[in-house]
Chains A and B, each alone.
Chain A
Amino acid sequence: MAHGPPRPILRAMIEATGLTKRLGGRTVVSDVSFRCEPGTVTGFLGPNGAGKTTTMRMVVGLSTPDAGASRVLDRRYHDIPNPGRHVGVLLDASAQHPGRSGREALAISAQMMGVPESRVTELLALVGLDDSAAKKRVRQYSLGMRQRLGLAHALLGDPQVLILDEPANGLDPEGIRWMRGLLRDFADRGGTVFLSSHLLSEVEAVADRLLIIGQGKIVADGTRDELLAGTGVLVRATDPRELENALHSAGLAAQALEDGAFVVDADPEAIGRAALTGGVVLTHLAPAEGAGLETLFFQLTETPA
């Protein structure tokens, strides 16, 4: 882990301590703790079924934890008098009445939270649902459109905190980029974003912090840079087999990637020397970056065979 100057302790907008949930005799979420601070995007990463949704459901009070607790804005979610005005939640974009128009779906929530109807028009425009789309029944929406409607719904009450479960699902690459910009901007203005994904590539570009969950347990939690720094050096050679031998002889721990590259937990100089000693021609020697994070992600979340 990198040791920079201590980060200032900010007030946690979302704080979970020891969240645990058992469903049908199986521990779905086990002792999950984390905090999300203002101005940051936290990516909640893990394969399907790792416990992301269950964790989020506990944070917003739809599910009661068997142990542990969570607080949003320094209080229990249940004790926020009008949560829509403070916390924007999108748990499932398909959870909309199919017989209601997109505009009406937003309008009833706006009325409930007490925000003016003009805000509905504003948000429909922001998420790119035009007039004819807004008038259509949700039944006719594609998953991408539902996702946009869900984001509009989450932003409706002008919240300080966003909790989004797989918001990129069903969006095309252009849509994903648009959403990243939207969330980055939200966080840069002081907002707190907590979003989940089962795809590293979706959150890597936008998240300041990564929280990785596998089989209900938090397996990594840190800033993106911290997690990247811990993943070593990516090295390639003309002959991967010789490279492996050279690294092995030098006593360096190397992890083979599928394409013949290795991620080595050592500094580049040590690897260079090992290669020189072994007479191996290197073709690549650089910090592992995304490739390493991906390895980390799979490593941490893979079910042991």
Chain B
Amino acid sequence: MNPAIPFPKLTFVELRKMVDTRAGFWLQVATAVITIAAVVLVGIVGEDTDRTLRSMLSVAVAPATILLPIIGILLVSSEWTQRTALITFTLVPKRLRVINAKVAAGLVLGVIVFAIAVVVALAATAAFGGDFELGAAVFGQTAVVVLTGMLIGIGFGAAFLSSAPAIVLYFALPLALGILGEFNFFDDIAEWVDTGRTTTPLMEHAASGTEWAQFAVSMLVWMVLPLAIGIYRITRGEIRAA
């Protein structure tokens, strides 16, 4: 018997699968192009206060925080929507290994994208003569926001096992929550579950204990819960493609 497929190899293949299709490839290119365009735009039309490294970094990661979750969704759901799950799980019948490899691949891609955003932000700050002040806390917290965004996407993809509903609900649910948050009675709850509100402090300043707690609770709802549902569905269920 041949030995089991090493985990790094599985992870690498998952990374390859993210870029070797037309959709996957252009999604990555779009992320890069929009990142650069956003930074250049802010550099040209922004105020002096916008040209600091801290501000540039938050602009540079903005496209990634929107597009990485979509890449994460597709990383899982396309196996079902495009029916490749049949192949993937006959080659790797231990289903949890596949999920782990996808999570690992998603995190690797997240780190790469974050690194690119940092380089772009540095270059833009230098080019537009901005202030290089950033702080280790904001740097680390921004990385956390980018990476958790990727994991939320993987969670949604795994929970729905279908690309279209996962993507639509990924955008629609927080939007609905944002609207509900406009009502006073819901405001207190939204502070703890609306990721738009819980992630903002992390990108702006060293977060307080309460802010971390609010972020953690929102991640429990949007990241941990979908991931748990997804892992349950994939490991227990029948692997059947749509």
Contact = CB atoms under 8 A, between A and B. Distances in A.
B90 A62 contact: yes
Interface string A258-291: 0000000000000000000000000000000000
A112 B92 contact: yes
Contacts of B85: 95
Given A78-B94, A86-B1, 16 more contacts: A60-B93, A61-B93, A78-B93, A82-B4, A89-B90, A92-B83, A95-B82, A95-B241, A96-B83, A97-B78, A97-B82, A109-B87, A112-B5, A112-B10, A112-B92, A114-B2
Given A108-B20, A113-B5, A98 B82 contact: yes
A65 to B, nearest CB: 11
A108 B5 CA distance: 13
B86 A91 contact: yes
B209 interface: no
Given A82-B3, A100-B21, A108-B13, A61 B238 contact: no
B186 interface: no
B88 to A, nearest CB: 9
Contacts of B84: 95-97
B87 A153 contact: yes
Given A63-B239, A94-B83, A104-B20, A81 B3 contact: yes
16 contacts: A62-B89, A62-B90, A62-B239, A63-B238, A78-B93, A81-B4, A81-B5, A82-B5, A91-B86, A92-B83, A95-B82, A99-B21, A99-B22, A112-B9, A114-B5, A153-B87
A43 interface: no
Interface residues of B, number: 33
Interface string B1-29: 11111000110110011001111100000
B39 to A, nearest CB: 30
B13 A112 contact: yes
Contacts of A91: 86, 90
B93 A77 contact: yes
Given A92-B83, A95-B241, A108-B17, A80 B22 contact: no
Given A81-B3, A82-B3, A111-B13, A95 B83 contact: yes
A83 B86 CA distance: 13
Given A96-B84, A97-B84, A108-B17, A60 B1 contact: no
A100 B13 CA distance: 14
B23 A99 contact: yes
A84 interface: yes
Contact of A81 (B2, B13, B20): B2
Interface string B194-218: 0000000000000000000000000
A42 B239 CA distance: 25
A105 B204 CA distance: 44
B91 interface: yes
Contact of B91 (A78, A94, A100, A112): A112
Nearest to B12: A111
Given A63-B238, A77-B93, A111-B16, A95 B2 contact: no
Interface in A190-247: none
A278 B124 CA distance: 104
Interface in A53-83: 57, 60-64, 73, 77-78, 80-83
Nearest to B238: A63
Contacts of B86: 62, 91-92, 95
